[in-house]
Chain A
Amino acid sequence: MADTIKLQVITPTKLVVDEEVEEVVAPGELGEFGVLVGHIPLITTIVPGELKYKKDGVDRSIIITGGVADVRDDKVNVLTDNVLTPDKVDTEASRKEAEAILEELKDFGGDEKEFKEIEKRLRLAQIKAGIRQV
Chain B
Amino acid sequence: MPSLKQIRTKVSSVKGTRRIMSAMKLISAVKLQRAQNLLLSYRPYSDAYEGIAKSLATRCDPEWHPLLKRPEESKKLHLVFMTSDRGLCGSFNSNIIRKIDTFLVTDAKKYELVKLSFLGRRGRDHFARREFQVSNSFIGITEKNITSIAKEISTEVTEEFIKGEVDEVMLVYNYFKSAISHVITFKKLLPLEQEETDEENTPIDYLYEPNRKDVLDYVLPKYLEVSMERAIFESATSEQAARMTAMENATRNADEVLRKLTLLFNKTRQAQITRELMDIVNGTEALRKGGSE
Say if A and B assemble together. yes
Footprint of B on A, CB under 8 Å? Answer: 8, 10-15, 28-30, 33, 40-45, 68, 70, 72, 77, 79
Please give me the residue from chain A that is nearest to B212 by CB atom.
A43
Contact B209 A41 (CB under 8 A): no
Structural contact, A70 and B208, CB atoms closer than 8 A: no
Stretch with Cβ within 8 A of A (4 or more), from B40-48, B153-161, B252-260:
B40-48
Q: Tell me, yes or no, whether B214 is within 8 Å of chain A by CB.
A: yes
Q: For A29, list chain B residues within 8 Å (CB).
A: 209-210, 214
22 A/B residue pairs, CB under 8 Å, sorted by A = A8-B44, A8-B48, A10-B44, A10-B48, A12-B42, A12-B45, A12-B226, A13-B41, A15-B41, A15-B44, A29-B209, A29-B214, A33-B209, A43-B52, A43-B207, A43-B209, A68-B52, A68-B218, A68-B222, A70-B48, A77-B51, A79-B45
Kindly count the residue-residue contacts between A and B in the assembled complex, taking CB atoms under 8 Å apart.
70
A112 to B52 Cα, complex, angstroms: 27
Closest Cβ–Cβ distance, residue B48 to chain A (whole Å): 5
Our pick among A10, A13, A28 for the contact of B209 (Cβ within 8 Å) is: A28
Q: Identify the closest chain A residue to B230 (Cβ).
A: A12
CB distance from B170 to the nearest CB of A (A): 24
User: In the complex, A11→B45 CA distance in Å?
Assistant: 6
Chain B, residue nearest A44 (CB): B209
Q: Does B186 contact A (CB under 8 A)?
A: no
How near does chain A come to B148, taking the closest CB pair, in angstroms? 14
Residue of A at shortest CB range from B222?
A68
Number of interface residues of B (CB under 8 A): 26
Collect the chain A residues with CB atoms within 8 Å of residue B207's CB: 40-43
Is the pair B48, A77 in contact by a Cβ cutoff of 8 Å? yes
Q: What is the predominant secondary structure among interface residues of chain A facing chain B?
A: strand
Q: In the bound complex, do residue B56 and residue A43 qualify as a contact, i.e. CB atoms below 8 Å apart?
A: yes
Interface string of B24-44 (1 = CB under 8 A from A): 000000000000001001101
The answer to whether residues A12 and B209 also contact, given A68-B52, A68-B219, A77-B48 and a CB cut-off of 8 A, is no
A42 to B207 Cα, complex, angstroms: 4
Q: Is B49 an interface residue (CB 8 A)?
A: yes
The reply to whether B51 and A43 form a contact with Cβ atoms under 8 Å apart is no
B208 near A43 with CB under 8 A, answer: yes
Known: A12-B41, A15-B41, A41-B204. A72 touches B209 (CB 8 A): no
Chain A positions within 8 Å of B42 at CB level: 12-13
12 new A-B pairs (CB below 8 Å) besides A12-B41, A29-B209?
A15-B44, A29-B210, A40-B204, A41-B204, A41-B207, A43-B56, A43-B206, A43-B219, A44-B215, A45-B210, A70-B52, A70-B55
The reply on B285 being an interface residue by CB < 8 A is no
Q: Is the CB of A45 within 8 A of B209?
A: yes
Of all chain A residues, the one with the shortest Cβ separation from B205 is A41
Write out the residue numbers on chain B whose beta carbons fall within 8 Å of the beta carbon of A72.
55, 206
Interface pair A45/B215, CB less than 8 Å apart: yes
In the complex, chain A residues whose CB is within 8 Å of the CB of B52: 43, 68, 70, 77, 79
Are A45 and B41 neighbours in the complex by a CB distance under 8 Å? no
In whole Å, how far is A84's beta carbon from the nearest beta carbon of chain B?
A: 17
